[in-house]
Structure 1
Amino acid sequence: MLLRERETPKGTLVSVCDPDCLGETYEDGPVTLTVSEEFYGGDDAVEADAETVVAGLHRAQVANIVGTESVAVAVEAGLVDEETVLEFDETRHAQLLWL
């Protein structure tokens, strides 16, 4: 999985995606999801195992998670409710917001 963390004026923003999702665009009716290199990849992104991804998600104020494996890790860790996961073509997407 690719993990990217960055500081914003609103706190830590974390993006996680399965590597095979990078550069892809997924559709669900009129809604599209583009997994861009600028947001999910780049020099700040690191390859991460499940434990590292979960730690990063715990540090996030906001997180975007794309890919079957990445979303499964967040669900299994109890950070994302399975019922809130969106299905896009062949992949899954979830968002996390700590209030």
Structure 2
Amino acid sequence: MLIRERDTPEGLLVAVCDDGCLGETYADDEVSLTVTEKFYGGETGDADDVVDALTRASVANLVGERCVRVAIDAGLVDEENVLELDGTRHAQLLWL
């Protein structure tokens, strides 16, 4: 999985994607998502690295079956709020 962290004025923004998602575009009737190197490209990490980044994030975007599953299993994302886009999963996380 690829993990990218950015400090913003609103807090830490984390983008995570499965390795195979980088460069892909996923769409359904209403939503289109392109997994760009600029936004999602980052350091390779395992499940523990993903959970660590997500627990520190103010906002996070996740694309791919594996990273979304890691977030669900860690109790950070509610499965019923996960989107299915063109055969892959997408989740957003926002801590208030």
Q: Aligned residues, how many?
A: 96
Where does residue 38 of structure 1 map in the other structure? 38
Summarize the alignment of residues 17-96 of structure 1 with structure 2, pairs less than 5 Å apart: 17-41=17-41, 45-96=42-93
**TM-score normalized by structure 2?**
0.98
RMSD between aligned alpha carbons?
Answer: 0.6
Per-residue CA deviation, residues 51-97 of structure 1 (Å, 9 max, x unaligned), is: 01000000100000000001000000000000000000120000000
Amino acid at match of 1:6: R
**TM-score normalized by structure 1?**
0.95
- Give 5+ residue unaligned stretches, structure 2: none
- Give 5+ residue unaligned stretches, structure 1: none
Shift >3 Å, 4+ stretches: none
Q: Percent identity?
A: 66
